[in-house]
Amino acid sequence: MRALTLTLLLGGVALAEDRTDHLGALGVTVAGGAEFGSTIGGQVPYLGFRAPLELGATLGVTDRTEVRVAGRLAPPWPQPDWSLTAGIRNSRGALWKTFFDLDLAVHLAPLWTVGLRFGFGVQYELSPVLGVFLVAAVQGGGGAGLRLAGELLLGFQLRSYLFF
């Protein structure tokens, strides 16, 4: 018993390995930035800049791929743009990651459209559970009219490794 106690006291503490993959990680993303877009059709055509705010969730399904969903509000008032996106983020790298997003984008108001969003970005891992990212994306869609937009977003991702 004394030998076991002495071994535990003098043996040192095994430190958990810092993870840079996202496998099994459940995450929350928060981002904001600038968007330049145009809509044709509907009652309120729009051409100009907006400042979107996005809140999302991610789930790491492989060491390089995350499934993501996000909701977005893009003022200016009185005609804000409400949208939802869902898709994948695929990344390469360790502390510095490059990634691409491929999403289905559904705009709900002021003009409903459905289309694709494609983005490319970089993420820096500040810790195993916190990353900061910058993404440039384009999206287009159709429905009650046509919509085309480009965006630049800066955000962060908080993760918890619940599943692996």
pLDDT per residue over 93-114, tens digit each?
989 999 999 999 999 988 899 9
User: pLDDT tens, 112-135?
Assistant: 999 999 999 999 999 999 999 999
The yes-or-no verdict on residue 164 having pLDDT over 80 is no
The CATH architecture annotation of domain 20-161 reads Beta Barrel (2.40)
If you search the block for the tokens 């003009």, which residue do you land on?
111
Q: How many CA atoms lie within 13 A of 88 on its CB side?
A: 7
DSSP code, position 129: T
Which backbone phi and psi does 3 adopt, to 5 degrees?
Answer: -65, -40
Contact present, 89 and 106 (Cβ < 8 Å): no
What pTM, to 2 d.p., does this model score? 0.84
Mean pLDDT of 134-162: 94
